[in-house]
Amino acid sequence: MLKIVRWGILGLGNIAQKFADDLKLVPDCKLEAVASSNSARARNFADTYKVNRFYDNYHDLFKDPKVDIIYIASLNNNHYEHSIQAIKNNKAVLCEKPLAINKSQVEDLLQLSNKKRVFLMEALWTRFNPVFDQLLTWISEGQIGKIKCIYASFSFNGTKRPNDSRLFNLEKGGGSLLDIGIYPLFLSYQLLGYPSTIISNAIKSDTGVDNQMAIILRYKDSQALLYSSFLHNEDMSAKICGEKGEIYVDSRWHESKTITLSNNYKTRKKFEFLGKGYVYEIMESNKCLREKTIESSKWSHKNSLDLVKLMDTIRSQNDIIYPNE
Ligand SMILES: NC(=O)c1ccc[n+]([C@@H]2O[C@H](COP(=O)([O-])OP(=O)(O)OC[C@H]3O[C@@H](n4cnc5c(N)ncnc54)[C@H](OP(=O)(O)O)[C@@H]3O)[C@@H](O)[C@H]2O)c1
């Protein structure tokens, strides 16, 4: 059994720093090596986080025999290639969301993970947070009865970002759907499953990405109203409304520490979060590696495949095509 799980990080940008901060809080694992395409960035990162080895290329990280699992923190359009290379080199993978930009890429990744018997998981960190477990518990206990409607959104004002920001760049796999709309979609999928009907409408930028996306998912007896935008701020709470009551996940719902059940009474629960919230996906990955499973039961390969199928459908409804698809 792996006593200490040895992590590597590929791509040393914004999210890699937050992840490395949280990794320090998880017992029985360590940050063993990091890799960036930029040697100064690799050196600085290694100095800051006291990492044993740093590389100015990704190849050396894939070949490092002392690394068990690689956290892929590159841009959306590179997740596929980087995850493929890691798995080919028998490295387990925790890859940032979206796992890849389309269904065909995700299918390839799942096939390879299965063939090589190497762990692969999409870093949908919200799934592993304590508040989300509480939400699932209340729903399975029947506290709100059958779900009739879900309201969830994710938006922020990204209009001051530089023109070459990954958010607005089609080549980098930009757009609000893949970047942040994936969270409300995930919520609805997790609670209600795959919908029978998908309706969506995008407001696109001059660069061809969706700046704003509105989605209605129809299930047999219920609906989800979902939304994402780069154009404005808002209070990001999520509401799950059932026949017998409601559950409110406080702002910002995808990283919330508080959740309220309203049926006959109001019950508010507050959770003390470790770190910024990435701790829980790290713990889940460590657990899976120790158990030698190639996927998590909490966010499985099929779950990632279904999520990308939903996003493919929504993109096709709005003529959003990434280069070289
Ligand atoms: N879970 C979350 O809460 C969360 C939050 C934000 C983002 N994300 C996800 O994390 C990923 C990275 O986002 P980020 O905000 O960290 O991005 P970022 O800081 O802009 O860039 C991350 C890394 O991508 C590589 N990169 C940047 N520009 C590139 C280019 N033009 N060509 C090739 N590689 C380039 C660089 O890797 P090198 O260091 O190797 O050069 C960079 O360090 C995205 O997939 C995003 O969806 C997740």
Give residue 96 CA to ligand 1 midpoint distance, Å: 9
Site to substitute for ligand 1 among 12, 15, 230, most atoms within 8 A of C-beta: 15
Q: Residue 163 — very low, low, confident or very high, per pLDDT cuts 50/70/90?
A: confident
In which domain, by residue range, is 199 found? 130-272+307-317
Whether 142 and 268 map to the same domain: the answer is: yes
Whether 120 and 138 map to the same domain: the answer is: no
pLDDT at 2 over 90: no
* pLDDT at site 277: 95
Whether 84 and 64 map to the same domain: the answer is: yes
Euclidean distance between the first and final Cα of the chain, in Å? 40
* pLDDT at site 134: 98
Whether 179 and 162 map to the same domain: the answer is: yes
pLDDT at 184 over 90: yes
| Range from 24-33, 155-164, 199-208 carrying the lowest mean pLDDT | 155-164
Q: Which of 215, 196, 221, 219 is nearest to 145 (CA)?
A: 221
Whether 39 is in the pocket of ligand 1, judged by its Cβ within 6 Å, is: no
Q: Is 104 helix (H, G, I), strand (E, B) or coil?
A: helix
Site to substitute for ligand 1 among 37, 74, 228, most atoms within 8 A of C-beta: 74
* pLDDT at site 299: 98
Backbone angles phi, psi at 305, to 5 degrees: -65, -45
Whether 115 and 147 map to the same domain: the answer is: no
Question: At 173, which CATH number?
Answer: 3.30.360.10
* pLDDT at site 237: 87
For residue 178, what is the DSSP state?
A: I
For the CA of 42, the nearest atom of ligand 1: 39
Q: Looking at the 3D structure of the chain, how many domains does it have?
A: 2
For the CA of 41, the nearest atom of ligand 1: 39
Whether 38 is in the pocket of ligand 1, judged by its Cβ within 6 Å, is: yes
* pLDDT at site 164: 85
Whether 248 and 312 map to the same domain: the answer is: yes
* pLDDT at site 273: 83
Whether 22 and 113 map to the same domain: the answer is: yes
**Domain for residue 28, yes or no?**
yes
- Per-residue pLDDT averaged across 35-64, rounded? 98
Give residue 184 CA to ligand 1 midpoint distance, Å: 21
Report pLDDT digits (tens) over 114-148: 999 999 999 999 999 999 999 999 999 999 999 99
**Domain for residue 288, yes or no?**
no
Last residue of a domain, one of 99, 125, 151: 125
Site to substitute for ligand 1 among 9, 14, 128, most atoms within 8 A of C-beta: 14
Whether 74 is in the pocket of ligand 1, judged by its Cβ within 6 Å, is: yes
Q: Residue 75 — very low, low, confident or very high, per pLDDT cuts 50/70/90?
A: very high
- Which tokens hold the place of 146? 């059958």
Whether 75 is in the pocket of ligand 1, judged by its Cβ within 6 Å, is: yes
Last residue of a domain, one of 103, 125, 147: 125
Give residue 311 CA to ligand 1 midpoint distance, Å: 20
Whether 149 and 261 map to the same domain: the answer is: yes
Whether 84 and 179 map to the same domain: the answer is: no
Residue 268 CB-density burial (10 A; 0-12 exposed, 13-18 middle, 19+ buried): exposed
* pLDDT at site 174: 97
Report pLDDT digits (tens) over 76-107: 999 999 999 999 999 999 999 999 999 999 99
Whether 253 and 148 map to the same domain: the answer is: yes
pLDDT at 325 over 90: no
Strands (E), the chain: 5-10, 29-35, 53-55, 69-72, 92-95, 120-122, 147-155, 197-204, 210-218, 223-229, 238-242, 246-249, 258-262, 266-270
Q: Which of 181, 182, 171, 180 is nearest to 209 (CA)?
A: 171
Q: How many Cβ atoms from other residues are within 10 Å of residue 75's Cβ?
A: 16
**Domain for residue 284, yes or no?**
no
For residue 103, what is the DSSP state?
A: H
**Domain for residue 295, yes or no?**
no
**Domain for residue 99, yes or no?**
yes
Report pLDDT digits (tens) over 199-249: 999 999 999 999 999 999 999 999 999 999 999 999 998 999 999 999 999
Residue 178 CB-density burial (10 A; 0-12 exposed, 13-18 middle, 19+ buried): buried
**Domain for residue 26, yes or no?**
yes
Whether 68 and 151 map to the same domain: the answer is: no
Q: What is the pTM of this model?
A: 0.98
Give residue 70 CA to ligand 1 midpoint distance, Å: 15
The residue whose CA is least distant from atom 3 of ligand 1 is 15
Whether 150 and 246 map to the same domain: the answer is: yes
Last residue of a domain, one of 125, 150, 175: 125
pLDDT at 54 over 90: yes
Question: At 73, which CATH number?
Answer: 3.40.50.720
Residue 318 CB-density burial (10 A; 0-12 exposed, 13-18 middle, 19+ buried): middle
Whether 11 is in the pocket of ligand 1, judged by its Cβ within 6 Å, is: yes
* pLDDT at site 1: 73
**Domain for residue 168, yes or no?**
yes
**Domain for residue 289, yes or no?**
no
* pLDDT at site 192: 98
pLDDT at 324 over 90: no
